[in-house]
Protein backbone atom coordinates (compact mmCIF):
# COMPACT_ATOMS: atom_id res chain seq x y z
CA UNK A 1 0.00 0.00 0.00
CA UNK A 2 1.32 3.43 -0.93
CA UNK A 3 0.92 6.13 1.64
CA UNK A 4 -0.16 9.62 0.51
CA UNK A 5 2.88 11.20 2.21
CA UNK A 6 5.33 9.42 -0.08
CA UNK A 7 4.64 11.48 -3.28
CA UNK A 8 5.02 14.70 -1.32
CA UNK A 9 8.36 13.48 -0.02
CA UNK A 10 9.48 12.62 -3.57
CA UNK A 11 8.47 16.09 -4.80
CA UNK A 12 10.43 17.65 -1.95
CA UNK A 13 13.55 15.72 -2.93
CA UNK A 14 13.15 16.81 -6.56
CA UNK A 15 12.99 20.43 -5.41
CA UNK A 16 16.11 19.89 -3.30
CA UNK A 17 17.98 18.49 -6.29
CA UNK A 18 17.33 21.59 -8.36
CA UNK A 19 18.60 23.75 -5.49
CA UNK A 20 21.60 21.47 -4.97
CA UNK A 21 22.88 21.46 -8.58
CA UNK A 22 24.65 24.88 -8.63
CA UNK A 23 26.26 24.13 -5.28
CA UNK A 24 27.62 20.84 -6.58
CA UNK A 25 29.13 22.63 -9.58
CA UNK A 26 30.90 25.14 -7.34
CA UNK A 27 32.22 22.35 -5.13
CA UNK A 28 33.45 20.54 -8.23
CA UNK A 29 35.15 23.71 -9.50
CA UNK A 30 36.85 24.25 -6.13
CA UNK A 31 37.92 20.60 -6.10
CA UNK A 32 39.39 20.96 -9.60
CA UNK A 33 41.29 24.09 -8.63
CA UNK A 34 42.59 22.51 -5.43
CA UNK A 35 43.72 19.33 -7.17
CA UNK A 36 45.42 21.22 -9.97
CA UNK A 37 47.25 23.64 -7.67
CA UNK A 38 48.29 20.91 -5.24
CA UNK A 39 49.42 18.74 -8.14
CA UNK A 40 51.60 21.45 -9.66
CA UNK A 41 53.03 22.23 -6.22
CA UNK A 42 53.86 18.57 -5.51
CA UNK A 43 55.30 18.12 -8.97
CA UNK A 44 57.66 21.10 -8.74
CA UNK A 45 58.47 21.59 -5.05
CA UNK A 46 60.77 18.57 -4.47
CA UNK A 47 63.12 19.88 -7.15
CA UNK A 48 63.60 23.48 -5.92
CA UNK A 49 66.41 24.40 -3.50
CA UNK A 50 64.03 25.41 -0.70
CA UNK A 51 63.07 21.71 -0.37
CA UNK A 52 66.10 21.21 1.91
CA UNK A 53 65.56 24.28 4.10
CA UNK A 54 62.97 23.43 6.71
CA UNK A 55 62.69 22.53 10.38
CA UNK A 56 62.53 18.76 9.95
CA UNK A 57 65.56 18.50 7.69
CA UNK A 58 67.61 20.63 10.08
CA UNK A 59 66.44 18.75 13.19
CA UNK A 60 66.41 15.10 12.06
CA UNK A 61 69.26 13.68 10.00
CA UNK A 62 67.22 10.72 8.76
CA UNK A 63 64.66 13.12 7.28
CA UNK A 64 67.48 14.96 5.50
CA UNK A 65 68.70 11.66 4.04
CA UNK A 66 65.20 10.76 2.85
CA UNK A 67 64.55 14.20 1.38
CA UNK A 68 67.72 13.97 -0.73
CA UNK A 69 66.70 10.61 -2.22
CA UNK A 70 65.69 10.96 -5.86
CA UNK A 71 63.18 8.11 -5.60
CA UNK A 72 61.33 9.90 -2.81
CA UNK A 73 61.33 13.12 -4.80
CA UNK A 74 60.06 11.25 -7.84
CA UNK A 75 57.29 9.60 -5.82
CA UNK A 76 56.12 12.97 -4.53
CA UNK A 77 56.23 14.39 -8.06
CA UNK A 78 54.23 11.37 -9.21
CA UNK A 79 51.55 12.12 -6.63
CA UNK A 80 51.47 15.63 -8.06
CA UNK A 81 50.86 14.25 -11.55
CA UNK A 82 48.03 12.10 -10.19
CA UNK A 83 46.47 15.22 -8.66
CA UNK A 84 46.71 17.07 -11.98
CA UNK A 85 45.11 14.07 -13.70
CA UNK A 86 42.27 14.12 -11.13
CA UNK A 87 41.69 17.80 -11.84
CA UNK A 88 41.39 17.19 -15.59
CA UNK A 89 39.21 14.13 -15.05
CA UNK A 90 36.86 16.15 -12.86
CA UNK A 91 36.78 18.89 -15.51
CA UNK A 92 35.88 16.31 -18.16
CA UNK A 93 33.17 14.82 -15.90
CA UNK A 94 31.61 18.21 -15.09
CA UNK A 95 31.67 19.35 -18.73
CA UNK A 96 29.98 16.09 -19.70
CA UNK A 97 27.31 16.53 -17.02
CA UNK A 98 26.60 20.08 -18.18
CA UNK A 99 26.38 18.90 -21.77
CA UNK A 100 29.31 20.81 -23.24
CA UNK A 101 31.06 17.65 -24.43
CA UNK A 102 29.70 15.82 -27.43
CA UNK A 103 30.38 12.23 -28.34
CA UNK A 104 32.25 11.43 -31.55
CA UNK A 105 29.09 10.00 -33.14
CA UNK A 106 27.25 13.31 -32.58
CA UNK A 107 29.93 15.36 -34.36
Per the confidence metrics, is the pTM higher than 0.75? no
6 occurs within a structural domain = no
Q: What is the total residue count of the chain?
A: 107
Total domains, the chain = 1
16 occurs within a structural domain = no
39 occurs within a structural domain = yes
For the chain, the first-to-last Cα distance in angstroms comes to 48
60 occurs within a structural domain = yes
13 occurs within a structural domain = no
105 occurs within a structural domain = no
Are the C-beta atoms of 83 and 31 separated by less than 8 Å? no
Tell me the pLDDT of the chain (107 aa) as tens digits: 555 555 555 555 555 555 556 678 888 889 999 999 999 999 999 999 999 898 999 999 999 999 999 999 999 999 999 999 999 999 998 888 877 777 666 55
- Domain with 38, as residue range(s), is 25-98
Amino acid sequence: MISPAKPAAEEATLGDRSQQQPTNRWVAILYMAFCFEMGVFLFVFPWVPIWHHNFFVARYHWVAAISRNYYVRGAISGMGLVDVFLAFYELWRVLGAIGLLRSRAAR
